[in-house]
């Protein structure tokens, strides 16, 4: 019985060891690097492909942002960093806690939070950002943002005001005699750094004079209202500050709190960054299509003229009378198709076929027997012209007086 129990314990121990080993050997390749992320018991480390340990599996997580991953332990204490080449920098001691969703380096600094709730900035060597060459550390109280475009922003509780600093710890976009109730993240507007600031006197677009060593803000008033309600638009992933204004003023911010555009009913849209300005599609050029030229069509009823060359004809010495009929196309631009012509007179019929170009004419002659007891007679000719292609017809009657021959 003891032997069976010992064997069971041995098997369980081996299985546990194999499971732990399998977890330790589970690797995920880091994109853009030859390193592998290794996990064991909820902790993470780094190895090379051949198993050389870069970082032991003791860190909360290893997530790379812009080629650098922040290393944290014990629930967020920042203790170093590593880059995609495997270069590890470990601090002599942890430097406060990482900030959720902001645990990355930007412009050489990372936002951290102390155990007392203050926000500060540390570089990759674990050194804090100071106010210029002084020993004063840059810190904010209630809220702070990471560096972007060389500027960071945060709130000081002493006056409940927002401030902006650069990577040298110097205050930027400095206001004269007013406090900022809100500041957007600084953005680059065609090479000019600017931000939007809300004070008790209104909403201002702020820039700096590059030759001003004190970095005072040069302000452009957008709206005199200062009270606003922030609304998040999940579809656009934007925050909208809706001001209590007669002009329905609103300031639109991207997910980094940069000003995208300002709108009110008086001035319309003001865009701060060109990449957010909608591309205006050129109005399509309206090309008036020329109507297709009408193809002239011959109408046998209206375009064909039929007439007798003479209203009376004298018989020849051979007692023959030559009666000529003229067929003319009166259209200036339409040719006829084949015309089937039938001329009926005195119980006889003559048939012809011809076609007529515009303004062209054809003639046909009927030879009559002119022997008669009287000096003259009138012969009526029934003429039917049918256009072969369309089946359209024209029927006319022409009367010609025949005079007998008198030598």
- The answer to whether the CB of 385 falls within 8 A of the CB of 394 is yes
- Residue identified by tokens 């060109």 is 274
pLDDT at 155: 96
Sign of torsion over alpha carbons 344, 349, 353, 354: negative
Calpha distance 40→58 (Å, rounded): 8
Q: What's the mean pLDDT in 36-58?
A: 94
Establish if 394 belongs to a structural domain.
Answer: yes
pLDDT at 133: 73
- Residue identified by tokens 């102390």 is 114
The lowest-confidence range among 8-17, 188-197, 237-246, 266-275 is 8-17
How many structural domains are present in the chain?
A: 1
Instruction: Please state the φ and ψ torsions of residue 234, each to the nearest 5 degrees.
Output: -70, -30
52, 121, 269, 304, 401 from 346: Cα distances, Å: 124, 123, 94, 25, 13
Calpha distance 332→304 (Å, rounded): 12
Establish if 350 belongs to a structural domain.
Answer: yes
pLDDT at 4: 46
pLDDT at 142: 85
Q: Which two tokens stand for residue 79?
A: 């203790």
Q: What's the mean pLDDT in 150-173?
A: 94
Place 249 in a pLDDT band, splitting at 50, 70 and 90: very high
pLDDT at 13: 53
Establish if 282 belongs to a structural domain.
Answer: no
Q: Which two tokens stand for residue 230?
A: 């922030």
pLDDT at 25: 56
Q: Which helix (DSSP H) or strand (DSSP E) does residue 249 occupy? A: none
pLDDT, tens only, 119-156: 999 999 999 999 977 889 999 998 999 999 999 999 99
Establish if 94 belongs to a structural domain.
Answer: no
CATH number for 380: 2.60.40.10
- The answer to whether the CB of 142 falls within 8 A of the CB of 158 is no
The whole domain housing 396 covers 304-403
The lowest-confidence range among 49-53, 282-286, 308-312 is 282-286
Q: What's the mean pLDDT in 317-334?
A: 94
- Contacts with 87 (C-beta within 8 Å, 6 or more apart), sequence order: none
Of 86, 92, 93, 130, the residue nearest 109 (C-alpha): 130
- The answer to whether the CB of 249 falls within 8 A of the CB of 226 is no
Establish if 130 belongs to a structural domain.
Answer: no
Of 51, 53, 52, 73, the residue nearest 61 (C-alpha): 73
Whether the predicted model's global pTM rises above the 0.85 cut: no
- The answer to whether the CB of 122 falls within 8 A of the CB of 103 is no
Percent of the chain with pLDDT over 70: 93
Q: What's the mean pLDDT in 13-24?
A: 48
Q: What's the mean pLDDT in 382-394?
A: 94
Calpha distance 187→255 (Å, rounded): 13
Q: Which two tokens stand for residue 50?
A: 């051949």
Q: What's the mean pLDDT in 392-400?
A: 95
pLDDT at 26: 67
Establish if 2 belongs to a structural domain.
Answer: no
Establish if 386 belongs to a structural domain.
Answer: yes
The lowest-confidence range among 94-108, 262-276, 285-299, 352-366 is 285-299
229 half-sphere exposure, CB direction, 13 A CA radius: 5
Q: Which two tokens stand for residue 223?
A: 């709206």
pLDDT, tens only, 328-380: 999 999 999 999 999 999 999 999 999 999 999 999 999 999 888 888 999 99
Place 86 in a pLDDT band, splitting at 50, 70 and 90: very high
Rounded-to-10 torsion of CA 224, 226, 229, 234:
70
pLDDT, tens only, 176-235: 999 999 999 999 998 899 999 999 999 999 999 888 999 999 999 999 999 999 999 999
Q: In what order do the strands lie in the sheet with 171-172?
A: 151-156, 161-166, 171-172
pLDDT at 18: 47
Establish if 75 belongs to a structural domain.
Answer: no
3, 166, 271, 342 from 313: Cα distances, Å: 149, 119, 96, 21
pLDDT at 128: 95
- The answer to whether the CB of 329 falls within 8 A of the CB of 360 is yes
- Average pLDDT of the chain to the nearest whole number: 90
């Amino acid at each position: 019985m003891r032997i069976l129990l010992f064997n069971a314990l041995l098997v369980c121990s081996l299985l546990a060891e194999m499971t732990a080993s399998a977890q330790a050997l589970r690797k995920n390749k880091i994109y853009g690097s030859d390193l592998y992320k290794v996990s064991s018991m909820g902790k993470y480390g780094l190895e090379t492909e051949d198993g050389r340990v870069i970082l032991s599996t003791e860190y909360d997580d290893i997530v790379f942002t812009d080629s650098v991953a922040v290393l944290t332990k014990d629930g967020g204490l920042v203790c170093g960093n590593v880059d995609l080449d495997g270069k590890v920098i470990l601090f002599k001691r942890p430097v406060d806690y990482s900030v959720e969703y902001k645990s990355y380096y930007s412009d050489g600094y990372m936002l951290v939070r102390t155990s007392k709730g203050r926000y500060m900035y540390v570089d990759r060597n674990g050194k804090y950002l100071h106010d210029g060459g002084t020993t004063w550390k840059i810190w904010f109280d209630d809220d702070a943002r990471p560096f972007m475009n060389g500027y960071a922003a945060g709130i000081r509780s002493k006056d409940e005001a927002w401030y902006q600093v650069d990577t040298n710890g110097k205050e930027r976009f400095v206001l004269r005699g007013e406090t900022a109730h809100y500041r957007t993240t600084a953005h680059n507007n065609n090479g000019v750094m600017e931000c939007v600031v809300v004070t008790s006197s209104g909403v201002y677009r702020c820039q700096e004079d590059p030759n001003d060593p004190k970095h005072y803000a040069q302000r452009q008033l957008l709206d005199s209202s200062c009270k606003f309600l922030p609304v998040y638009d999940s579809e656009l992933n934007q925050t909208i500050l809706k001001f209590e204004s007669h002009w329905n003023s609103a300031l639109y911010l991207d997910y980094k709190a940069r000003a995208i555009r300002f709108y009110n009913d008086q001035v319309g849209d003001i865009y701060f960054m060109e990449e957010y300005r909608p591309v205006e599609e050129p109005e399509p050029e309206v090309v008036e299509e020329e109507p297709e030229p009408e193809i002239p069509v011959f109408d046998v009823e209206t375009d064909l003229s039929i007439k007798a060359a003479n209203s009376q004809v004298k018989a020849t010495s051979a007692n023959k009378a030559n009666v000529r009929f003229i067929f003319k196309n009166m259209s200036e631009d339409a040719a006829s198709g084949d015309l089937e012509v039938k001329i009926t007179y005195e119980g006889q019929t003559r048939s012809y076929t011809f076609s007529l170009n515009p303004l062209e004419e054809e003639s046909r002659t009927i030879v009559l027997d002119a022997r008669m007891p009287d000096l003259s007679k009138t012969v009526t000719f029934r003429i039917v012209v049918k256009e072969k292609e369309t089946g359209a017809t024209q029927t006319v009657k022409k009367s010609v007086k025949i005079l007998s021959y008198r030598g």
